Structure 1
Protein backbone atom coordinates (compact mmCIF):
# COMPACT_ATOMS: atom_id res chain seq x y z
CA UNK A 1 0.00 0.00 0.00
CA UNK A 2 1.13 3.53 -0.72
CA UNK A 3 2.06 5.29 2.53
CA UNK A 4 3.67 8.44 1.15
CA UNK A 5 4.53 10.23 -2.08
CA UNK A 6 6.58 13.21 -3.13
CA UNK A 7 6.16 15.04 -6.42
CA UNK A 8 9.24 16.91 -7.65
CA UNK A 9 10.20 18.61 -10.93
CA UNK A 10 12.80 16.92 -13.11
CA UNK A 11 14.79 19.56 -15.03
CA UNK A 12 18.56 18.96 -14.96
CA UNK A 13 18.78 22.64 -13.99
CA UNK A 14 17.95 21.54 -10.44
CA UNK A 15 21.59 20.44 -10.25
CA UNK A 16 23.68 23.56 -9.48
CA UNK A 17 26.62 22.34 -11.55
CA UNK A 18 24.30 22.15 -14.57
CA UNK A 19 22.57 25.47 -13.89
CA UNK A 20 25.88 27.27 -13.15
CA UNK A 21 25.08 31.01 -12.98
CA UNK A 22 21.33 30.39 -12.95
CA UNK A 23 21.54 28.06 -9.94
CA UNK A 24 19.94 30.53 -7.47
CA UNK A 25 16.77 30.68 -9.56
CA UNK A 26 15.78 27.16 -8.46
CA UNK A 27 17.11 27.36 -4.90
CA UNK A 28 13.58 27.43 -3.46
CA UNK A 29 12.62 24.40 -5.57
CA UNK A 30 15.65 22.46 -4.27
CA UNK A 31 14.72 23.28 -0.69
CA UNK A 32 11.13 22.17 -1.29
CA UNK A 33 12.36 18.91 -2.86
CA UNK A 34 14.56 18.23 0.16
CA UNK A 35 11.58 18.80 2.46
CA UNK A 36 9.43 16.47 0.34
CA UNK A 37 11.99 13.67 0.49
CA UNK A 38 12.09 14.15 4.24
CA UNK A 39 8.37 13.32 4.30
CA UNK A 40 9.09 10.10 2.40
CA UNK A 41 11.80 9.10 4.87
CA UNK A 42 9.53 9.83 7.83
CA UNK A 43 6.96 7.37 6.44
CA UNK A 44 9.48 4.50 6.84
CA UNK A 45 8.58 2.72 3.60
CA UNK A 46 9.65 -0.82 2.82
CA UNK A 47 10.43 0.27 -0.73
CA UNK A 48 10.75 3.54 -2.64
CA UNK A 49 9.95 3.68 -6.35
CA UNK A 50 11.11 6.66 -8.40
CA UNK A 51 8.74 7.25 -11.33
CA UNK A 52 9.36 9.63 -14.20
CA UNK A 53 8.84 10.23 -17.92
CA UNK A 54 11.17 8.33 -20.23
CA UNK A 55 11.86 8.09 -23.92
CA UNK A 56 11.98 5.03 -26.13
CA UNK A 57 14.55 2.54 -24.86
CA UNK A 58 14.44 4.08 -21.38
CA UNK A 59 10.97 2.93 -20.32
CA UNK A 60 10.20 0.19 -17.86
CA UNK A 61 11.93 -0.90 -14.65
CA UNK A 62 15.32 0.42 -13.59
CA UNK A 63 16.97 -1.57 -10.82
CA UNK A 64 18.94 -0.34 -7.84
CA UNK A 65 22.48 0.47 -8.89
CA UNK A 66 21.46 1.95 -12.24
CA UNK A 67 23.55 4.99 -13.14
CA UNK A 68 22.58 8.29 -14.69
CA UNK A 69 24.82 11.08 -15.94
CA UNK A 70 24.57 14.83 -16.46
CA UNK A 71 27.49 14.87 -18.90
CA UNK A 72 25.10 15.63 -21.75
CA UNK A 73 24.12 18.82 -19.92
CA UNK A 74 27.67 20.06 -19.43
CA UNK A 75 28.40 18.66 -15.96
CA UNK A 76 30.68 15.69 -15.34
CA UNK A 77 28.44 14.23 -12.64
CA UNK A 78 27.12 10.69 -12.36
CA UNK A 79 24.66 9.41 -9.80
CA UNK A 80 23.49 5.94 -8.79
CA UNK A 81 19.91 4.94 -8.01
CA UNK A 82 20.03 3.55 -4.49
CA UNK A 83 22.63 0.92 -3.75
CA UNK A 84 23.55 -2.13 -5.77
CA UNK A 85 25.72 -3.31 -8.59
CA UNK A 86 25.95 -0.92 -11.56
CA UNK A 87 23.44 -1.70 -14.30
CA UNK A 88 24.18 -1.66 -18.03
CA UNK A 89 21.11 0.39 -18.93
CA UNK A 90 21.47 4.08 -17.95
CA UNK A 91 18.75 6.03 -16.21
CA UNK A 92 16.53 8.42 -18.17
CA UNK A 93 17.00 12.09 -17.31
CA UNK A 94 13.97 12.28 -15.02
CA UNK A 95 15.18 9.38 -12.88
CA UNK A 96 18.73 10.73 -12.95
CA UNK A 97 17.44 13.94 -11.36
CA UNK A 98 15.50 11.83 -8.85
CA UNK A 99 18.63 9.82 -8.00
CA UNK A 100 20.52 13.11 -7.54
CA UNK A 101 17.87 14.37 -5.12
CA UNK A 102 18.04 11.13 -3.12
CA UNK A 103 21.82 11.21 -3.06
CA UNK A 104 21.73 14.82 -1.90
CA UNK A 105 19.34 13.79 0.89
CA UNK A 106 21.56 10.77 1.76
CA UNK A 107 18.59 8.47 1.35
CA UNK A 108 18.93 5.33 3.47
CA UNK A 109 15.35 4.75 4.57
CA UNK A 110 14.60 1.83 2.23
CA UNK A 111 15.63 0.02 -0.98
CA UNK A 112 15.06 2.04 -4.16
CA UNK A 113 13.89 1.12 -7.65
CA UNK A 114 12.92 3.17 -10.70
CA UNK A 115 10.29 3.14 -13.42
CA UNK A 116 10.45 5.04 -16.69
CA UNK A 117 6.98 5.85 -18.04
CA UNK A 118 5.95 6.61 -21.60
CA UNK A 119 4.56 10.16 -21.65
CA UNK A 120 1.87 8.96 -24.06
CA UNK A 121 0.71 6.05 -21.88
CA UNK A 122 -3.08 6.14 -21.64
CA UNK A 123 -4.72 7.06 -18.36
CA UNK A 124 -6.16 3.63 -17.61
CA UNK A 125 -2.80 1.91 -18.05
CA UNK A 126 -1.10 4.60 -15.94
CA UNK A 127 -3.49 3.94 -13.08
CA UNK A 128 -3.10 0.19 -13.41
CA UNK A 129 0.67 0.60 -13.25
CA UNK A 130 0.25 2.61 -10.06
CA UNK A 131 -1.92 -0.07 -8.49
CA UNK A 132 0.70 -2.68 -9.38
CA UNK A 133 3.44 -0.63 -7.71
CA UNK A 134 1.35 -0.11 -4.57
CA UNK A 135 0.91 -3.88 -4.25
CA UNK A 136 4.64 -4.60 -4.32
CA UNK A 137 5.17 -4.22 -0.55
CA UNK A 138 3.17 -3.46 2.61
CA UNK A 139 4.59 0.08 2.75
CA UNK A 140 5.39 1.70 -0.59
CA UNK A 141 6.55 5.27 -1.19
CA UNK A 142 6.73 7.06 -4.54
CA UNK A 143 9.04 9.83 -5.70
CA UNK A 144 7.25 11.19 -8.77
CA UNK A 145 9.54 13.17 -11.06
CA UNK A 146 7.44 15.36 -13.35
CA UNK A 147 7.04 18.74 -15.01
CA UNK A 148 3.95 20.71 -15.92
CA UNK A 149 3.38 22.54 -19.18
CA UNK A 150 6.33 24.01 -21.09
CA UNK A 151 4.27 26.82 -22.61
CA UNK A 152 3.92 29.44 -19.89
CA UNK A 153 5.87 32.25 -21.56
CA UNK A 154 7.18 33.48 -24.89
CA UNK A 155 10.64 32.12 -24.04
CA UNK A 156 9.34 28.75 -22.82
CA UNK A 157 10.47 25.61 -24.68
CA UNK A 158 7.01 25.29 -26.22
CA UNK A 159 6.39 29.04 -26.66
CA UNK A 160 3.35 30.70 -25.08
CA UNK A 161 0.05 28.85 -25.06
CA UNK A 162 -2.84 30.52 -23.24
CA UNK A 163 -4.15 27.13 -22.12
CA UNK A 164 -0.99 26.32 -20.18
CA UNK A 165 -1.68 28.43 -17.10
CA UNK A 166 -5.09 26.81 -16.55
CA UNK A 167 -3.71 23.32 -17.08
CA UNK A 168 -0.94 23.92 -14.55
CA UNK A 169 -3.32 25.50 -12.05
CA UNK A 170 -5.53 22.41 -12.20
CA UNK A 171 -2.52 20.11 -11.78
CA UNK A 172 -1.18 22.15 -8.85
CA UNK A 173 -4.53 22.06 -7.05
CA UNK A 174 -4.85 18.31 -7.60
CA UNK A 175 -1.31 17.58 -6.43
CA UNK A 176 -1.67 19.87 -3.43
CA UNK A 177 -4.91 18.27 -2.28
CA UNK A 178 -4.25 14.63 -3.32
CA UNK A 179 -7.30 14.86 -5.59
CA UNK A 180 -7.25 11.52 -7.40
CA UNK A 181 -10.33 12.28 -9.50
CA UNK A 182 -8.81 15.51 -10.83
CA UNK A 183 -5.56 13.76 -11.74
CA UNK A 184 -7.45 10.94 -13.47
CA UNK A 185 -9.27 13.42 -15.69
CA UNK A 186 -6.20 15.29 -16.94
CA UNK A 187 -6.44 15.36 -20.73
CA UNK A 188 -3.59 13.38 -22.31
CA UNK A 189 -3.93 15.14 -25.67
CA UNK A 190 -3.85 18.58 -24.11
CA UNK A 191 -0.89 17.60 -21.94
CA UNK A 192 0.97 16.48 -25.06
CA UNK A 193 0.21 19.74 -26.87
CA UNK A 194 1.44 21.71 -23.85
CA UNK A 195 4.54 19.50 -23.50
CA UNK A 196 3.55 18.58 -19.93
CA UNK A 197 5.81 15.61 -19.14
CA UNK A 198 4.14 15.01 -15.79
CA UNK A 199 0.69 13.87 -16.88
CA UNK A 200 1.48 10.14 -17.09
CA UNK A 201 3.53 9.98 -13.84
CA UNK A 202 0.78 11.89 -12.01
CA UNK A 203 -1.80 9.38 -13.19
CA UNK A 204 0.47 6.52 -12.05
CA UNK A 205 0.45 8.24 -8.66
CA UNK A 206 -3.34 8.49 -8.76
CA UNK A 207 -3.59 4.73 -9.32
CA UNK A 208 -1.11 3.93 -6.57
CA UNK A 209 -2.97 6.12 -4.07
CA UNK A 210 -6.38 4.52 -4.55
CA UNK A 211 -7.74 3.52 -1.14
CA UNK A 212 -4.72 4.95 0.70
CA UNK A 213 -6.53 8.00 2.12
CA UNK A 214 -3.50 10.30 1.88
CA UNK A 215 -3.58 14.06 2.38
CA UNK A 216 -1.72 16.41 0.06
CA UNK A 217 0.33 19.53 0.56
CA UNK A 218 1.74 21.83 -2.13
CA UNK A 219 5.22 23.09 -1.25
CA UNK A 220 6.23 24.83 -4.48
CA UNK A 221 4.45 26.12 -7.59
CA UNK A 222 6.31 28.30 -10.07
CA UNK A 223 7.30 28.58 -13.73
CA UNK A 224 10.72 30.28 -13.70
CA UNK A 225 11.60 29.23 -17.26
CA UNK A 226 8.09 29.11 -18.64
CA UNK A 227 7.76 25.50 -17.43
CA UNK A 228 5.41 24.55 -14.59
CA UNK A 229 7.36 23.10 -11.66
CA UNK A 230 5.55 21.68 -8.64
CA UNK A 231 6.65 20.10 -5.38
CA UNK A 232 4.00 18.31 -3.33
CA UNK A 233 3.81 15.71 -0.59
CA UNK A 234 1.17 13.08 0.11
CA UNK A 235 1.12 11.38 3.48
Structure 2
Protein backbone atom coordinates (compact mmCIF):
# COMPACT_ATOMS: atom_id res chain seq x y z
CA UNK A 1 0.00 0.00 0.00
CA UNK A 2 1.23 3.48 -0.81
CA UNK A 3 1.61 5.39 2.47
CA UNK A 4 3.41 8.56 1.31
CA UNK A 5 4.92 10.29 -1.68
CA UNK A 6 7.32 13.14 -2.27
CA UNK A 7 7.37 14.96 -5.60
CA UNK A 8 10.60 16.79 -6.44
CA UNK A 9 12.09 18.43 -9.53
CA UNK A 10 15.15 16.84 -11.09
CA UNK A 11 17.41 19.55 -12.55
CA UNK A 12 21.11 18.82 -12.11
CA UNK A 13 21.36 22.42 -10.83
CA UNK A 14 20.04 21.13 -7.49
CA UNK A 15 23.55 19.75 -7.00
CA UNK A 16 25.59 22.75 -5.77
CA UNK A 17 28.77 21.64 -7.54
CA UNK A 18 26.86 21.70 -10.84
CA UNK A 19 25.23 25.06 -10.14
CA UNK A 20 28.53 26.63 -9.08
CA UNK A 21 28.18 30.30 -8.23
CA UNK A 22 24.41 30.17 -8.76
CA UNK A 23 23.90 27.39 -6.20
CA UNK A 24 22.12 29.58 -3.64
CA UNK A 25 19.42 30.45 -6.17
CA UNK A 26 17.88 26.99 -5.59
CA UNK A 27 18.33 26.88 -1.80
CA UNK A 28 14.56 27.14 -1.39
CA UNK A 29 13.96 24.19 -3.69
CA UNK A 30 16.56 22.07 -1.87
CA UNK A 31 15.01 22.90 1.50
CA UNK A 32 11.54 21.99 0.23
CA UNK A 33 12.84 18.67 -1.13
CA UNK A 34 14.36 17.90 2.28
CA UNK A 35 11.02 18.66 3.93
CA UNK A 36 9.22 16.35 1.48
CA UNK A 37 11.68 13.55 2.22
CA UNK A 38 10.99 14.11 5.90
CA UNK A 39 7.34 13.32 5.22
CA UNK A 40 8.42 10.02 3.64
CA UNK A 41 10.56 9.13 6.65
CA UNK A 42 7.71 9.94 9.04
CA UNK A 43 5.48 7.46 7.18
CA UNK A 44 7.87 4.62 8.16
CA UNK A 45 7.79 2.79 4.80
CA UNK A 46 9.07 -0.74 4.28
CA UNK A 47 10.38 0.25 0.84
CA UNK A 48 11.08 3.46 -1.03
CA UNK A 49 10.86 3.58 -4.81
CA UNK A 50 12.39 6.53 -6.64
CA UNK A 51 10.50 7.11 -9.89
CA UNK A 52 11.85 9.28 -12.68
CA UNK A 53 11.74 9.64 -16.43
CA UNK A 54 14.18 8.23 -18.97
CA UNK A 55 14.79 9.28 -22.57
CA UNK A 56 12.31 8.04 -25.13
CA UNK A 57 12.51 4.26 -25.45
CA UNK A 58 14.51 3.87 -22.23
CA UNK A 59 13.50 3.01 -18.68
CA UNK A 60 13.57 0.04 -16.37
CA UNK A 61 14.30 -0.93 -12.77
CA UNK A 62 17.46 0.02 -10.87
CA UNK A 63 18.51 -1.80 -7.70
CA UNK A 64 19.96 -0.27 -4.58
CA UNK A 65 23.59 0.56 -5.16
CA UNK A 66 23.13 1.53 -8.82
CA UNK A 67 25.51 4.33 -9.68
CA UNK A 68 25.05 7.68 -11.37
CA UNK A 69 27.13 10.79 -11.83
CA UNK A 70 27.13 14.41 -12.86
CA UNK A 71 30.47 14.25 -14.66
CA UNK A 72 28.72 15.18 -17.90
CA UNK A 73 28.26 18.62 -16.36
CA UNK A 74 31.96 19.05 -15.67
CA UNK A 75 32.02 18.08 -11.98
CA UNK A 76 33.42 14.95 -10.39
CA UNK A 77 30.32 14.03 -8.38
CA UNK A 78 29.09 10.45 -8.24
CA UNK A 79 26.07 9.02 -6.42
CA UNK A 80 24.73 5.62 -5.46
CA UNK A 81 21.05 4.84 -5.11
CA UNK A 82 20.50 4.21 -1.43
CA UNK A 83 23.84 5.67 -0.38
CA UNK A 84 27.27 4.29 0.35
CA UNK A 85 26.02 1.64 2.76
CA UNK A 86 24.11 -0.37 0.17
CA UNK A 87 26.95 -2.75 -0.68
CA UNK A 88 28.39 -3.50 -4.11
CA UNK A 89 26.41 -2.31 -7.10
CA UNK A 90 24.49 -5.12 -8.77
CA UNK A 91 23.79 -3.22 -11.98
CA UNK A 92 26.25 -1.90 -14.53
CA UNK A 93 23.66 0.46 -15.99
CA UNK A 94 24.16 4.06 -14.94
CA UNK A 95 21.22 5.85 -13.38
CA UNK A 96 19.36 8.21 -15.71
CA UNK A 97 19.66 11.84 -14.68
CA UNK A 98 16.30 11.95 -12.90
CA UNK A 99 17.28 9.07 -10.62
CA UNK A 100 20.81 10.42 -10.14
CA UNK A 101 19.26 13.59 -8.72
CA UNK A 102 16.99 11.43 -6.54
CA UNK A 103 20.04 9.55 -5.25
CA UNK A 104 21.78 12.85 -4.51
CA UNK A 105 18.77 14.15 -2.56
CA UNK A 106 18.60 10.94 -0.52
CA UNK A 107 22.33 11.08 0.24
CA UNK A 108 21.98 14.74 1.21
CA UNK A 109 19.45 13.93 3.96
CA UNK A 110 21.24 10.75 5.02
CA UNK A 111 18.31 8.50 4.12
CA UNK A 112 18.39 5.24 6.14
CA UNK A 113 14.68 4.81 6.75
CA UNK A 114 13.91 2.04 4.22
CA UNK A 115 15.54 0.10 1.39
CA UNK A 116 15.61 2.07 -1.86
CA UNK A 117 15.15 1.02 -5.46
CA UNK A 118 14.66 3.00 -8.64
CA UNK A 119 12.27 2.91 -11.58
CA UNK A 120 12.74 4.95 -14.74
CA UNK A 121 9.76 5.24 -17.08
CA UNK A 122 10.04 6.38 -20.70
CA UNK A 123 9.10 10.03 -21.02
CA UNK A 124 6.67 9.08 -23.80
CA UNK A 125 4.87 6.33 -21.84
CA UNK A 126 1.12 6.55 -22.41
CA UNK A 127 -1.05 7.63 -19.46
CA UNK A 128 -2.77 4.24 -19.23
CA UNK A 129 0.57 2.45 -19.08
CA UNK A 130 1.79 4.93 -16.46
CA UNK A 131 -1.24 4.15 -14.30
CA UNK A 132 -0.73 0.41 -14.71
CA UNK A 133 2.94 0.76 -13.78
CA UNK A 134 2.05 2.75 -10.69
CA UNK A 135 -0.69 0.35 -9.61
CA UNK A 136 1.82 -2.51 -9.56
CA UNK A 137 4.35 -0.72 -7.33
CA UNK A 138 2.78 -1.01 -3.87
CA UNK A 139 1.87 -4.69 -4.13
CA UNK A 140 5.02 -6.29 -2.69
CA UNK A 141 5.14 -4.53 0.68
CA UNK A 142 2.67 -3.42 3.31
CA UNK A 143 4.04 0.13 3.35
CA UNK A 144 5.58 1.70 0.25
CA UNK A 145 6.65 5.30 -0.32
CA UNK A 146 7.50 6.98 -3.61
CA UNK A 147 10.01 9.69 -4.43
CA UNK A 148 8.70 11.04 -7.72
CA UNK A 149 11.14 13.08 -9.79
CA UNK A 150 10.14 15.40 -12.60
CA UNK A 151 10.06 18.98 -13.82
CA UNK A 152 7.07 20.88 -15.13
CA UNK A 153 7.28 22.80 -18.41
CA UNK A 154 10.56 24.15 -19.75
CA UNK A 155 8.90 26.95 -21.73
CA UNK A 156 8.13 29.66 -19.20
CA UNK A 157 10.40 32.39 -20.61
CA UNK A 158 12.30 33.34 -23.74
CA UNK A 159 15.50 32.08 -22.08
CA UNK A 160 13.97 28.72 -21.14
CA UNK A 161 15.30 25.54 -22.80
CA UNK A 162 12.11 25.34 -24.88
CA UNK A 163 11.70 29.12 -25.38
CA UNK A 164 8.48 30.86 -24.35
CA UNK A 165 5.20 29.04 -24.94
CA UNK A 166 2.05 30.77 -23.71
CA UNK A 167 0.51 27.40 -22.80
CA UNK A 168 3.24 26.57 -20.31
CA UNK A 169 1.97 28.61 -17.37
CA UNK A 170 -1.48 27.02 -17.60
CA UNK A 171 -0.03 23.52 -17.79
CA UNK A 172 2.16 24.16 -14.75
CA UNK A 173 -0.72 25.66 -12.79
CA UNK A 174 -2.88 22.60 -13.48
CA UNK A 175 -0.07 20.26 -12.44
CA UNK A 176 0.61 22.24 -9.26
CA UNK A 177 -3.06 22.23 -8.33
CA UNK A 178 -3.31 18.47 -8.88
CA UNK A 179 -0.19 17.76 -6.83
CA UNK A 180 -1.25 20.09 -4.03
CA UNK A 181 -4.60 18.34 -3.62
CA UNK A 182 -3.60 14.77 -4.55
CA UNK A 183 -6.12 14.96 -7.39
CA UNK A 184 -5.57 11.66 -9.21
CA UNK A 185 -8.05 12.36 -11.98
CA UNK A 186 -6.39 15.69 -12.77
CA UNK A 187 -2.95 14.05 -12.93
CA UNK A 188 -4.25 11.34 -15.23
CA UNK A 189 -5.78 14.02 -17.45
CA UNK A 190 -2.45 15.73 -18.20
CA UNK A 191 -2.03 15.62 -21.97
CA UNK A 192 1.11 13.70 -22.99
CA UNK A 193 1.27 15.49 -26.33
CA UNK A 194 1.16 18.91 -24.73
CA UNK A 195 3.64 17.82 -22.06
CA UNK A 196 6.04 16.70 -24.79
CA UNK A 197 5.73 20.01 -26.64
CA UNK A 198 6.36 21.89 -23.38
CA UNK A 199 9.27 19.60 -22.43
CA UNK A 200 7.56 18.68 -19.13
CA UNK A 201 9.54 15.64 -18.03
CA UNK A 202 7.40 15.13 -14.92
CA UNK A 203 4.23 14.11 -16.74
CA UNK A 204 4.90 10.35 -16.89
CA UNK A 205 6.26 10.00 -13.31
CA UNK A 206 3.33 12.03 -11.97
CA UNK A 207 0.90 9.72 -13.74
CA UNK A 208 2.73 6.71 -12.29
CA UNK A 209 2.09 8.29 -8.88
CA UNK A 210 -1.59 8.65 -9.72
CA UNK A 211 -1.78 4.93 -10.49
CA UNK A 212 0.03 4.00 -7.28
CA UNK A 213 -2.25 6.19 -5.15
CA UNK A 214 -5.50 4.76 -6.50
CA UNK A 215 -7.66 3.55 -3.63
CA UNK A 216 -5.73 5.43 -0.95
CA UNK A 217 -6.85 8.46 1.04
CA UNK A 218 -3.61 10.44 0.81
CA UNK A 219 -3.78 14.21 0.99
CA UNK A 220 -1.35 16.58 -0.70
CA UNK A 221 0.52 19.75 0.13
CA UNK A 222 2.50 21.95 -2.25
CA UNK A 223 5.80 22.93 -0.61
CA UNK A 224 7.46 24.86 -3.45
CA UNK A 225 6.48 26.36 -6.80
CA UNK A 226 8.73 28.49 -8.97
CA UNK A 227 10.09 28.73 -12.50
CA UNK A 228 13.74 29.76 -12.31
CA UNK A 229 15.49 29.72 -15.67
CA UNK A 230 12.06 29.37 -17.30
CA UNK A 231 11.53 25.81 -16.02
CA UNK A 232 8.69 24.90 -13.67
CA UNK A 233 9.88 23.31 -10.43
CA UNK A 234 7.30 21.81 -8.08
CA UNK A 235 7.76 20.13 -4.70
CA UNK A 236 4.85 18.37 -3.04
CA UNK A 237 4.28 15.88 -0.23
CA UNK A 238 1.45 13.37 0.04
CA UNK A 239 0.66 11.57 3.28
TM-score range with shorter-chain normalisation? over 0.9
| Deviations, residues 174-194 of structure 1 (Å, cap 9, x unaligned) | 001100010010000000000
2:178 to 165, 174, 186: 174
CA distance in 2, matches of 1:80, 1:56: 23
Pick closer, same or farther for the CA change 1:129–1:52 going to 2, 3 Å.
same
CA contact (8 A) 2:57 2:122 kept: no
Unaligned 5+ residue runs, structure 2? none
Point out 4+ residue stretches in structure 1 off by more than 4 angstroms: none
1:52-63 alignment to 2 at 5 Å?
52-55=52-55, 58-63=58-63
Aligned pairs (5 A) from 1:1-235: 1-55=1-55, 58-82=58-82, 83-86=86-89, 87-235=91-239
Q: Normalised by the size of structure 2, how large is the TM-score?
A: 0.97
Distance, in Å, in 2 between the alignment partners of 1:232 and 1:212 is 17
Give the CA RMSD over aligned residues.
0.9
Task: Please list the CA deviations of residues 126-158 of structure 1 after superposition, one character each: whole Å capped at 9, or x if unmatched.
Answer: 000000002121100000000000000000000
Q: How many residues align?
A: 235
Cα deviation, 1:145-174, whole Å, max 9, x if unaligned, reads 000000000000000000000000000000
TM-score (norm 1): 0.98
Consecutive unaligned residues in structure 1, runs of 5 or more: none
Moved more, 85-94 or 122-131: 85-94
Structure 2 counterpart SS, 1:135: helix
SS of alignment partner, residue 228 of structure 2: coil
Q: CA deviation at 1:84?
A: 3.2
